[in-house]
């Protein structure tokens, strides 16, 4: 949605992005496409660049509709992915430069494995000392 908002004129951002978000709040793909077409017809003249931007990525954005509805929230959110990189950085920065590629792979694997365990809803696991050596 950020890429679309950047292409909007400042005075149109709030109403246009609000309407575009309704597309993704639809209960199924058919309704989402209907909502997008209505939004498109309203904004195509005033904000053509933004409409084309959303239209270009619409198919990929609606891929979550291919999965069961209870998974949509986790699939649509990129927060988990965005949090992964700072966590890896936070764990690796104090260590300094890695002596070799294998040691870097171990710390990255351990951190990502720990985060995957949390994401799946299992109990948080401690990173094993043998992974870090």
Query: Is residue 6 domain-shared with residue 50, that is, in the same domain?
Result: yes
More confident residue, 47 or 125: 47
Which pLDDT belongs to residue 38? 93
> What pLDDT score does 130 carry?
47
Nearest to 43 by CA among 11, 65, 86: 11
* 92 and 60 in a common domain: no
pLDDT of residue 40 exceeding 80: yes
Rounded to whole angstroms, the Cα distance separating 92 from 90 reads 6
CA distance 66 to 104: 36
Residues 10 and 53 in one domain: yes
Distances (CA, A) of 22 to 17, 45, 58, 90: 9, 19, 13, 36
Both 33 and 83 in one domain: the answer is no
Q: Please report whether residue 17 resides in a domain.
A: yes
Residue 56: give the domain boundaries. Answer: 2-66
128 versus 63: the higher-pLDDT residue is 63
Q: pTM for the full model?
A: 0.56
Q: Quick one: pLDDT at residue 111?
A: 75
Q: Are residues 22 and 51 both part of a single domain?
A: yes
Distances (CA, A) of 20 to 25, 71, 75, 120: 9, 21, 18, 30
What pLDDT was estimated at residue 24? 82
Residue 71 lies in a domain: no
Q: How many domains does the chain have?
A: 2
**Between 93 and 57, residue with greater pLDDT:** 57
Q: Which of 17, 39, 66 is the last residue of a domain?
A: 66
Give the per-residue pLDDT at 127.
45
């Amino acid at each position: 949605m950020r890429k679309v908002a950047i292409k909007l004129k400042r005075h149109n951002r709030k109403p246009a992005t609000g309407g575009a978000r309704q597309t993704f709040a639809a209960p199924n793909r058919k309704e989402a496409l209907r909502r997008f077409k209505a939004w498109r017809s309203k904004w195509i003249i005033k904000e053509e660049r933004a409409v084309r931007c959303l239209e270009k990525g619409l198919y990929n954005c609606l891929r979550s509709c291919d999965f069961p509805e209870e998974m949509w929230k986790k699939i649509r959110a990129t927060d988990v992915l965005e949090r992964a990189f700072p966590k890896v950085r936070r764990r690796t920065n104090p260590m300094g430069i890695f002596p070799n590629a294998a040691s870097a792979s171990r710390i990255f694997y351990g951190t990502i494995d720990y985060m995957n365990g949390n994401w799946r809803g299992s109990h948080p696991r401690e990173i094993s000392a043998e992974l870090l050596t």
